[in-house]
Structure 1
Amino acid sequence: MSDLHRDRPVTLADDLAPRLRDALAGWTVDAVADALGDRAIRAMSREQTVPALVAARALGDAPVALLTRLFILGDELTRDQADRALGEFGVAQAIASGLLAAAGQGGDDAVRALVDLRPTAVAGSDGEATVDWWVASDQGEAVTGRRLAGDHVLGVGGASATLAGATMRTPVDRVLDLGTGCGIQALHASTHARAIVATDISRRALNFAAFNHALNAPAAHWDLREGSMLEPVVGELFDLVVSNPPFVITPPGTPSFEYRDGGHGGDGLVASLMRHVGSVLAPGGVAQHLGNWEIGRGAAWDERLESWLDASQVPLDAWIIQRDLLDAAEYAETWLRDAGVTPERDRAGFRAAYEAYLADFDARRVEAIGFGVVTLRRPASGRPTLRRLEEHEGAVAGPLGAHLASALAAHDWQVGRADDALLEERYVVAPDVTKETYGRATEHEPEHILIRQGGGLGRSVRADTALAGFVSTCDGELTAGQIAGALAALLDVPMGAMAAGIATALRDLVVDGFLAPASALQPARV
């Protein structure tokens, strides 16, 4: 079958969307995993499609198998097979919508997909049920066998999943999805917002986002706008801004794609976003985005981030978590491989692009590149009270967004309270917190005591006897001051010193989720 022009936009009329949803109804993430099996799913995570093709073809004309072969694996079907898989929507309408190309009108003629279309799922607001979506985007290299086009529209990938997991899902009125791409963040935002403004510099990306909106019919209203960064929303205010921006550092002479290169040079796009995003945040509004930042030789990893925060148009609370760190060579290799530039395919091209990366970094004395999650907040009133920049490269238990939301609420709770007020409160240990002790078998007392968090960022705190005893006693019955007094008498420590130490530790323990004020968990005592 001859190749067709890829600039043909996908479209889906609102009156036809229910037919396509009906055809895809049983085609879920779980259904695909069950049909293909673990071997195929693991191979697909490595961008290897052969095991999945073998498994899907063995299932014959089962709709899940046919849809998976057609839209995920890029396999050709007969027109009759595709018609069976698409039900009342049918091949003719799929061709008209820009989803398929057919070699002819006969039932045995070959049909292939022009786009990637696949199921995805997200936990519902109750934390139990899932919401199923289908997301269309451009086909990847594993299917086409060709390098990506410059205007490639990415589907649901690792970065978009990271941002979705880190986003706080507090119900809000207006959300801005900056650089929406295929619209996946807008779909997530639709679960907890009334209205979404989604922007992108790419008309192709906005076409995919419009298609995915029509197909999934989220309750929230979407307003799709073309333009660069904040330009389409100047003068407007939002309760939440989410962005998986084109943050990849792309020197001249290296592969460039709209979805990952913002054209600012170096880490300039992330710098600009952090300086200016406060201008579109309503009081109390939050911006959450991903980013790369350069780390100069001999400089602290957070030095540039601190300077960008200092230069913000609007003073903002900030919590930045660096999740990964690559040296300049590792970074070049990572993004050249992502672009399909490898020494096996094009040795000379790979070497030239690799050298361009290193020359650019060396000219600016860049030693390493950080990646992480940026959370910024415009204070509802007064000045910012939070600036927390930390490294955390380990695993995260559960969605990070829920932890960030509770931690910000806990920060606000404690920041306005003096030490005496903190000590007058009763506290309860979080259910995921455990205590671990280590020491020689011949010693009666442990050499090390760790208080460890099972959820959130999985933090651990090294505790002395006093702090371990304090946390162990926090069951909501005694105030922190009463526990401190008992510990002071038991350990023969001055009450003032004990109370001061406990109050200082309390702030971090509350913010990080080890302890919660009992008053926030149960009715006030009388």
Structure 2
Amino acid sequence: MQTASPDVDVPVVDPSLAASLRLDLAEVGGTGYRVDAVEELLGPVAAAALHREHSLPARRAVAEGLDRRDPLAALVGAFVLGLEVPADVLAAALPRCGLEGAAALGLLHRGPQGTASPLLELRPYEAVDAVGPAHWWVASDLGEMAAPGPLRTDHVLGIGGASTTLAGAAVRTPVRRALDLGTGCGVQALHLRRHAHEVVATDVSARALRVAALTLALDGPSEEGTVELRRGSLLEPVAGESFDLVVSNPPFVITPRRPDVPAYDYRDGGLVGDALVQQLVEGVGAVLAPGGTAQMLGNWEHRRGEPWTERVAAWLDASGLDGWVVERDLLDPAAYAETWVRDGGQPPGPQADGLVGAWLDDLASRRVEAVGLGLVVLRRPLDDARPRLRRLEQQPGPVAGPLGGHVADVLAAEEALASLPDDALATRRLRVAGDVTEERHARPGAEHPEVVLLRQGGGFGRVVRVGTATAGVVGACDGQLPLGVLVGAVAALLDRPAEDVAAEVVPVVRHLVADGLLLIGGRA
């Protein structure tokens, strides 16, 4: 029987037991323990309620399944909902691993009167990133639906919105070495091992590393890449090494530094305000190989009298790297405090009010008017002599699909534009990206449109308003003629000097190329 170390209550993973469990999960019910099978068991109403973190309809659906002695219902009841289930029904779902094997892996314990209770969550996970679709099982601690009340401070978080956002946004170009900084339950490492020859995954939490090891073991031996797990804070475990890609969902939550406010390993890095994100932005270049990219999520403070773009741009300047920051969400201090008090599992009441008050006092002490959340993309340029990329923008709202390919395209476009002055750009053939559409709006009876919009179907779904001359040039960008020729032709049609049209159009074209709405082709 496996045992856990004194400070870690999750056993070391036995590869043979993990392999047996993997086979069981893949075959249960004939379709396997997969997202679609779980949703079919629950039904659309219960599945939708569960996505809203309301579990009663799902518990009822599982109870009906257990009445039918459905092994899949036992898996969902135990490892998604955190319910005590009949041991014999759960055992039928695990014919190879068995309940003893699942207990040895730290997943459950046998209860009285023929029951079994979960110790960890084990959820099916499906995703689409820039490599393509994937199906896995991810271990984590039981969430607050399954284990109501405040979470333990070494809680290992499962898959949430932040982790899926980062997974979708990461560049998936094949690389030699990749780093998952703050791996948690291991989901980013799962994605990385598909396109990196070597992956190092770090975490300050010993429990998290044990749970991540189970997640990775359930993926089985990988033909693509190996994963090495290391314990330590931020960049300390990889000091002196270099990586082609770094991804991180770090413990970025701004937390009051008070003894009555719990500090959770998965979200709190122990620093004041947004200093952890600043430290990581400024320091990650030390482990980036030339041409390497780092992508991370983070919070930053909007302080009264100090634009957030200036504060974060100063971090980028200190890093010495190319930097692109996209703010995806913005919360006022009260909403921010309420979010993280709820996240810790604290029910409404005087204790929750006290925690919210602590957050409000902490943010007010630094004149914080709002907190931004978003994506940071950093790159070590191959040419140290050229100016550094600086993009800081707000792009709220949903996106149509994985952003990783778009992020790679934008970085490549910015690299190309840096070496193309206007006269050189004029010699290049451009074409409209395949996801771009044009909208024209006119008043009833008007001969010409008053508004022309270019709408991006992928990426961040940008909508760009352009003038008549720019619309004419973009409409002719089919990769056949160079930009300069198109500008001259549109100028002639509008009966305007070509230099005036160029002065109006070319700067807009640069932005359209940088945002992925126009693509650069060959020279004339």
TM-score range, shorter chain: over 0.9
1:63 aligned residue:
71
Corresponding residue for residue 110 of structure 1: 115
Instruction: For residue 85 of structure 1, report the CA deviation from its aligned partner.
Output: 0.8
The residue identity in structure 1 corresponding to 2:362 is D
Residue 375 (structure 2) aligns with: 373
**Cα-to-partner distance string for 1:51-108 (whole Å, 9 max, x where unaligned):** 112112223233322211121111222221111011211111111221111125xxx6
Which residue in 1 is equivalent to 2:29?
none
Contact 1:249 1:267 (8 Å CA) reproduced: yes
> Are 1:98 and 2:103 matched, yes or no?
no
2:180 counterpart SS class: strand
Q: How do 1:396-475 and structure 2 match up within 5 A? A: 396-475=399-478
TM score, norm. by length of structure 2: 0.93
Who is 2:9 aligned against? 8
**Which residue, out of 68, 75, 83, partners 2:83?**
75
Q: 1:227 aligned to 207, 232, 243, which one?
A: 232
Q: 1:258 Cα shift?
A: 0.7
- Could you tell me whether the CA contact under 8 Å between 1:270 and 1:293 is conserved in 2? yes
Partners of 1:125 and 1:443 in 2: CA distance: 44
Unaligned runs of 5+ in 2: 27-31
Alignment partner of 1:159 out of 159, 162, 168: 162
Work out the CA distance in 2 between the residues paired with 1:362 and 1:21: 50
Deviation at 1:505, TM superposition (A): 2.1
Query: How has the CA–CA distance of structure 1 residues 140 and 412 changed in structure 2, closer, same or farther, with 3 Å as cutoff?
Result: same
Q: Work out whether residues 9 and 207 of structure 1, in 8 Å CA contact, stay in contact via their aligned partners in 2.
A: yes
Please point out which of 280, 290, 293 is paired with 1:286. 293
Q: Which residue of 2 aligns with 1:215?
A: 218
Q: CA deviation at 1:461?
A: 1.4
Structure 2 residue 311 is the aligned partner of structure 1 residue 304: yes
- Residues 13 and 270 (structure 1), Cα distance of their counterparts in 2 relative to 1, 3 Å cut: same
Distance 1:157 1:126, change over 3 A: closer
CA distance in 2, matches of 1:170, 1:126: 8
Percent same amino acid at aligned positions? 51
* Matched AA of 1:326: L
**Structure 1, 400-409 or 500-509: larger mean CA deviation:** 500-509
Q: 1:6: Cα distance to partner?
A: 10
The amino acid of 1:11's aligned partner reads V
**Per-residue CA shift, 1:184-217, capped at 9, x if unaligned?**
1111111110111111110000101111121212
Cα separation, 1, equivalents of 2:424 and 2:313: 32
Deviating more after overlay: 182-191 vs 52-61:
52-61
What one-letter code is carried by the residue in structure 2 that aligns with 1:267?
A: D
Q: Is the 8 A contact 1:115 1:137 kept in 2?
A: yes
Name the CA distance, whole Å, in 2 between partners of 1:211 and 1:290: 25
Q: How many Å separate the matches in 1 of 2:42 and 2:73?
A: 8
2:146 match: secondary structure: helix
Deviates more, 1:74-83 or 1:274-283: 74-83
1:470 Cα deviation (Å)?
0.8
Q: Tell me the equivalent position of 1:131.
A: 134
3-state SS of the aligned residue for 2:47? Answer: helix
Cα shift at 1:297: 0.9
Cα deviation for residue 242 of structure 1 reads 0.6
Q: Deviation digits for residues 292-330 of structure 1, max 9, x if unmatched? A: 111111221222211212222xx1000000001111111
Alignment of 1:354-373 (within 5 A): 354-373=356-375
Identify unmatched segments of 5+ residues in structure 1. Answer: none
Preserved CA contact (<8 Å) 2:328 2:375: yes
Residues 469-498 of structure 1 show CA distances to partners (whole Å, capped at 9, x for unaligned) of 111111222221111111111111111222
**TM-aligned CA distance change 1:124 to 1:167, over 3 Å:** closer
Post-superposition Cα deviations, 1:149-203, rounded to whole Å, max 9, x if no partner, equal 0100001111111111111111111111111111111111111101111111100
1:119 positional shift = 0.6
Give the whole-Å Cα distance in 2 for the aligned partners of 1:505 and 1:439: 22
CA 1:351–1:236 in structure 2 vs 1: closer, same or farther (change >3 Å)? same
- Distance, in Å, in 1 between the alignment partners of 2:464 and 2:356 is 42
Which of residues 482, 489, 507 in structure 1 aligns to 2:492? 489
Residue 158 to residue 214, structure 1, CA distance change in 2 (3 Å): same
Report the Cα distance in structure 2 between the residues aligned to 1:489 and 1:413, rounded to whole angstroms. 29
Q: 1:124 deviation in Å? A: 6.8
| Superposed displacement of residue 222, structure 1 | 1.2
3-state SS of 1:155 partner: coil
User: What is the CA distance between 1:518 and its match in structure 2?
Assistant: 3.6
1:177-188 to structure 2, matched below 5 A, reads: 177-188=180-191
Q: Which amino acid is the alignment partner of residue 158 of structure 1?
A: G
Match of 1:45 in 2: 51
Report if the CA contact (8 A) 2:130-2:404 is conserved: no
Letter in 2 for 1:13: D
In the alignment, does 2:343 pair up with 1:338? yes
2:38 corresponds to 1:36: no
Secondary structure at the counterpart of residue 141 of structure 1:
coil
CA distance in 1, matches of 2:233, 2:276: 11
Task: Indicate the residue corresponding to 1:17 in structure 2.
Answer: 18
**Separation in structure 2 between the aligned mates of residue 85 and residue 112 of structure 1, nearest angstrom:** 15
CA distance in 2, matches of 1:505, 1:146: 53
- Does the CA contact (< 8 Å) of 1:425 and 1:480 recur in 2? yes
* Cα distance in 2, alignment partners of residues 349 and 146 from structure 1: 12
Letter in 2 for 1:262: G
Do the aligned partners of residues 384 and 226 (structure 1) sit closer, same or farther apart at CA in structure 2, a change above 3 Å counting? farther
Distance in structure 2 (CA, Å) of the matches to 1:475 and 1:103 = 68
SS at match of 1:477: strand
Distance in 2 between residues matched to 1:14 and 1:459, nearest whole Å: 47
Cα displacement (A) at 1:255: 3.0
Residue identity opposite 2:267 in structure 1:
R
Q: Shift in Å at residue 517 of structure 1?
A: 2.5
Deviation at 1:338, TM superposition (A): 1.0
How far the C-alpha of 1:373 sits from its partner, in A, is: 0.3
Partner residue, 2:267: 260
CA distance, structure 2, for counterparts of residue 385 and residue 310 of structure 1: 9
User: 2 CA distance for matches of 1:266 and 1:293?
Assistant: 8
State the secondary structure of the residue aligned to 1:16. helix
Residues 176 and 196, structure 1, Cα contact 8 Å, conserved in 2: yes
Per-residue Cα deviation, 1:490-520 (whole angstroms, up to 9, x for no partner): 111111222333322221111211111244x
Aligned-pair distance for 1:438?
Answer: 1.4
Aligned mates of 2:157, 2:277 — CA distance in 1: 19
RMSD: 1.8
Q: In the alignment, residue 31 of structure 1 is paired with which amino acid? A: A
Q: Indicate the residue corresponding to 1:504 in structure 2.
A: 507
Q: Which amino acid aligns with 1:279?
A: A
